[in-house]
Every structure is written in structure tokens, then in C-alpha cells.
Amino acid sequence: MSALTGSAGIAVRPLRLDEEGLPFPEDIASSGTAGGNAAEVEARMGIVIVGHVDHGKSTIIGRLLADTGSLPEGKLEQIKDLCARTAKPFEYAFLLDALKDERAQGITIDAARVFFRTPKRRYLILDAPGHVEFLKNMVTGAARAEAALLVLDAGEGIQENTRRHAYLLSMLGVRQIAVVVNKMDLVGSRQEDFDAFARDLGGFLGSIGLEPAAIIPVIGREGDNLATRSATMSWYTGPTVLEVLDAFRSQGEAVDGPFRMPVQAVFKFTNDGDDRRIVAGTIDSGRLRVGDEVVFHPSGKRTRVKSLEAFNRVAPSVVGAGESAGFTLAQQIYVQRGELATLAHEPQPVTATRIRTSIFWLGTRPLEVGRNYTLKLGTARVSVHLEHIERVLDASTLDAVTDRTAVLRNEVAECVLKLRQPIAFDRATDIAATSRFVLVDNFNISGGGVVREALATAPTRAAGSATRVALRAGVLWLTGPKGAGKSALARWIAAHADASGAKVELLDDDTLGELFPASGARGDVALRVRRIAWLASRLEAHGAAVVVAVDSPDDDVRRAARDQAANFVEIHLHASPDVLAQRIGAAESPPYEAPVQPELALDTGRLTLEESGAQVLAWLDEWSSQS
């Protein structure tokens, strides 16, 4: 669909998404939502249109565009003329279905994204296709929606995809829903037929936890009860579709929730003495101002916002939910894509390596216990292992089965996932946007869902436990600033591994101090680390799992250690500056270069020794199982 500009200045065009399903910052900025103070920006709401195939979703959207004056001048006449020249009956759906193959098939095959405006606010509509084969696109649409219109054909009633789509909306936490009963002319526009239909539908929606704001009788082709009231159905006294949309609460208006911004990228500038590092992303909830103390999860790093940044415009003083934002930090800490930015004084997200989830599976291959997948939540991407299927629910019948080891296509399941490394999220009952994820199987998005709760990691093994710790030959290199707890965690890991019969060697300052002495000079420390790395590689070659916990502040030296080992696992321990200062009795830690991409990162200022150790063992279990 080509970019079009309406008479009211409204763009009717696709919103481009990056490989993670997120809008490009420049697209958001050009749409007029990123740039001013949050209080000054025109409210905007994302709406998803769902329903069974051929129930009239595209017709309703096309009619809304026409009835709200959101089309360019002459566009309606242009489409009508095209239909006349091609001997096709005019359909309002053609205003939306711009692709040639969509017109030829008469169905919508991609999630169209269009803008329109009412006097109250601006809307971004995501038209989710109705065929089962296109449910994958619907997951992307619904996951970005703040509200939904569920469209049904009065002549056909509740269909299989109607139930599936409704359940998916419920699972994704989309609670603002209105039902549009379309094609009422097929049942003579009779009130008794509508009332019976509404009772059945309301009962079904209530059974899956949805309470529609309104059930509206509509004749989409004629525009009855869309923007204006119907003369044919004068018995209906409820709101029109536009009235119920305007009554919904927009994320742009709900900026008082906890601040959440998945880090999409970090831009570094070098020209003309510009040394800024700008953290960029799209804000899911809350507000951000200069001077706010931000905390990044799961790393736990924190600092203050030095400045808010903008491209080719005046920098705003505050940014809020729904906006693309960029900001610099008062302290140059290492932050990477996938972290979740929060405010220190607000409720914090949950960080875990084991989670209970609700999953809607769309893949051609079943979702199977014991297999590994990739989970994408916000901008985070992590390998996960399907540990257990608690129950499978048929989205059409709502029947539950509890003794399954696989989830088939178009089924919903309650599952336990084990993550290779921690991610930060909110529970679906707290903040829906930061609980939603997709699952990738063999490079294809094959499912979506929400996190219900964090679960305890695998039970910690006491020193005398007979449970075997899964370890293979390799070098486990614990790194972090002074005071991060490297030696304590290394001893904990070694003790648990040794008690279970694993072949393990511990190299720390207590075991190596006299053999590998070093002064405080940076060069001497580097030489000492290189010698220890050589020794660790020799022990590994003889089949040992080597746990190393020594001061190794230089990243390039640690990379050299990695090159010497056949299997190298870098575990980065970190804590806030206040915690480190308290532990080492100094105002600030000595210089330390954090690793760019460690296999595992642990906030030892927040986690206990047992919790940190359990996360390491859980990671090692999966790592060893992949050997």
C-alpha cells in the first residue's frame, strides 16, 4: 500500500517493522507521536480487528476511513471508477486491500496498518486476517493492540476462528473489546435475532474472561451504527462503533504506570567530538524525564538520564508511553539490546530463568517437551527449553487435556519454559505489554503467548546431595569487578559439582596466590591472567571442568583466555556501585571492563549466593545436554 496523505493530514500507509516486530523510530517520529511532551502529544490508540474470514473486517475498516474523512480527496471515487472499469462491484474493503492479489482473492492476507482520526484521538488499526493460515500475522497485530473489535457475521454466527481469536485476545491481555455483529441485513435487521445472538456470544466471552464494552449491530456496507446511527435498526440504543472506540482508554493517556522501555539499540557517535551514547527504544508504559534514575534489567545496572535526544527537532522535556525515545546516561555503563529500562523508584519487573506461560501454538511442527526454541520478549532474544506441558486447551471447545507431551497447531497450552539466561518481564496480570512473547522454531515465528509467573529454579543441591551436577570439560570463567562475589560463587559451584562426583578444578586467589603472584600493576595482572588461562586450558584438555575466579579486568585478556579453551563459559557478576563500595570498603571500584556478550550475567547485589548458584547450574544443565 503506497503512502497516502488525507485531507486532514492523516497518513494511510503501512507501519514498517524491524526484524523483532518493532516499529522503526523514524516512522513513529514522522507519525507525530514522538517529539513533544507526553501531555502535549495527541492521544493515539492501537486497535486490532479480528474475526472469521469473510465476516466483513476489511469492509468495516474501509467504511470507517471513508466516514471519518481520513481518505485523500478523490480516493473513494478513484476506487469506484477502477471497479467500474474492471466490471467489479464496489467494496469498501478495496480501500484497504490495496495489493493486487488480495483484490483478486477477495481476502486480506497481510496485517494492514492504517491511520484514521476522530475528534478525540488518532487511531492505528491493525487488520488481522481471519484464515487459520494467517493467524501468525494476527499474533503480531494483537500483541501491539490496546483494544480490539471482534467482527462476526450475523448470518453465520460464532465460528471456529471467532473462538480462537477471542481466546487469543484474552490470553494476550487485551481487555478493551467491542463486538461488531455485521451484516444484520442478512437476518432482516431484527432485534430478537440480535438479542439471542448477543446472549450466546456474551456467555462464550465470559467463559474465557472477556467482558465486551458493547455488542453492536452493524451493516458495514451501508455504514449503519459505525460512525452514525442506523435508521433501519432504530431499536438499538447503545453506542456506535466510533463512540465505543473513543470511550476506550488509550495507552497514550495511561502514562502513569511504571516506566518500561525495551532497549532496541544503543547508538554511539564519534564525529566532531560528539561522544554521546544514545539508548533508544519504544516506551511501553510510564514517563521518562532528565535526571530520572534508570535501572536496566536483567543486568541490574543503574545510572541517571543525562539528556533526552531527538532527531532534527527540539529535544523533549519528557517522553511517555507509545513514543520512540532516545536518551543519554550520566555514567557510561554498558547497556545492550534486549535489556528492559525501568525507573528506580517504581515497581520493578521480574527476572527469571524459569517461567510458567500460556502459549498459542501456530507452527507446522508440534511444540514438544524436551526441544529447544528461541523466545523473543520485547527486544530480548533467548534460547528456551520446553520443560513441561501442564495442560492443553482446545481454543474452539475449551476442553482441557493434562497428559500431553506435545502441543499441536492452533492449540493453547499452559507450559513451563526453562531459559538459558535470565530475561526481565512483567506478569500478564500486571503489565500486559511486557509479558508478551513469541516463540521461534527453525527460524519461523511459530507461537506466541504471555508470561503468567516466574518459577523457582531447579532445587539447589546441598553439598552432600547425590544428585549429579551436569558438567562437561570446559573453562567456567567468573568475571566481575572487585566485590562482585566471584570467589564465593566459584567455591559454591565447585563444592556442589565435587559432591556429585563431577571432575572439577577450582582456580582462585586462595589456590593460586603463591604460585601466580602479581603486583597491582595493570600489566602484571594481565600477565597473571594469561598464565592462569593457559593452566585452565591444560586442565580442560585432561577432562576437567575448571572454575576460574580471579581478578581479570581487561576484556581483551579474557578474550585471549577464551581462544585457548575448547569450551569457554564467561559468567559476568555485577552489582550496583553502592553494593560494591560497601563490600570492598572504598568509594569506587577499580577500573574494570565488562564483557560484551557473556554466556550468563548475574546481579549478585540482588541475588543471594544460593540463587546465583542455582542459575549457573540450570544454565550448565542445558549447556551440557547440548554437547
Q: What is the mean pLDDT of residues 502-508?
A: 84
Q: Compute the average pLDDT of residues 571-596.
A: 83
Residue 458: pLDDT band (50, 70, 90) is low
Decide if pLDDT at 19 tops 60: no
pLDDT of residue 363: 86
pLDDT in tens, 202-213: 888 888 888 899
Phi and psi (nearest 5°) for 430? -100, -65
- Region at 405 (left for phi over 0; alpha for psi -120 to 50; beta for the rest): alpha
Report the candidate in 432, 428, 258 with the shortest Cα–Cα distance to residue 342.
258
Collect all residues with Cβ–Cβ distance below 8 Å to 140 and sequence separation of at least 6.
17, 21, 111, 445
Please determine, for residue 26, whether its predicted confidence score (pLDDT) is greater than 70. no
Write down all domains in the chain, each with its CATH number in brackets: 4-32+42-247 (3.40.50.300), 261-343 (2.40.30.10), 352-454 (2.40.30.10), 474-625 (3.40.50.300)
Burial profile 335-353: b = 16 or more Cβ within 10 angstroms, e = fewer: bbbbbbbbbeeeebbbbbb
Query: How large is the average pLDDT for residues 474-488?
Result: 90
Kindly name the residue from 31, 299, 435, 552 that is annotated as catalytic. Answer: 552
Average pLDDT score over residue span 539-543: 90
Going by pLDDT thresholds of 50, 70 and 90, the confidence category of residue 473 is confident
Backbone angles phi, psi at 533, to 5 degrees: -60, -40
C-alpha cell at 613: 548458584
d(CA 59, CA 151) in angstroms, rounded, equals 11
Cell numbers 529500562 correspond to what residue?
A: 341
CA atoms within 13 A on the CB side of 579: 16
pLDDT at residue 479, rounded to an integer: 95
Are 458 and 621 contacting, i.e. CB atoms less than 8 angstroms apart? yes
**pLDDT over 50 at 401, yes or no:** yes
pLDDT digits over 345-367, tens only?
A: 999 999 999 999 989 888 888 99
Q: How confident is the model at residue 228 (pLDDT cuts 50, 70, 90)?
A: confident
Phi, psi (degrees; rounded to nearest 5) at 436: -85, 140
DSSP state of 435: G
Cα separation, 364 vs 410, in Å, equals 9
Q: At what angle do helices 160-171 and 191-207 cross, to 10 degrees?
A: 50
Cα distances from 253 to residues 41, 142, 302, 540, in angstroms, run: 10, 19, 28, 58
**Looking at the predicted structure, is the pLDDT value of residue 38 above 60?**
no
- Write the burial class of residue 434 (CB in 10 Å: 0-12 exposed, 13-18 middle, 19+ buried): buried
For the cut 90, the answer to whether the pLDDT of residue 178 exceeds it is yes
**Edge-to-edge strands, sheet with 44-51:** 112-117, 122-127, 44-51, 147-153, 176-182, 214-217
Better-scored residue on pLDDT, 267 or 458: 267
16 pLDDT exceeds 80?
no
Candidates 544, 469, 553; CA nearest to 503 is 544
Torsion over CA: 483, 489, 492, 497 (sign): negative
The CA distance from 363 to 369, in Å, is: 15
- 317 flagged as catalytic: no
345 Cβ partners below 8 Å, 6+ apart?
293
Average pLDDT value for the chain: 78
Predicted TM-score (pTM) of the model is 0.56
Q: Which residue has the higher pLDDT, 205 or 460?
A: 205
Report whether 205 contacts 168 (CB < 8 A): no
The answer to whether residue 547 scores a pLDDT higher than 90 is: yes
> Helix or strand or coil: residue 75?
helix
Which grid coordinates are listed for 294? 534508570
Q: Biggest alpha carbon distance in the chain? A: 94
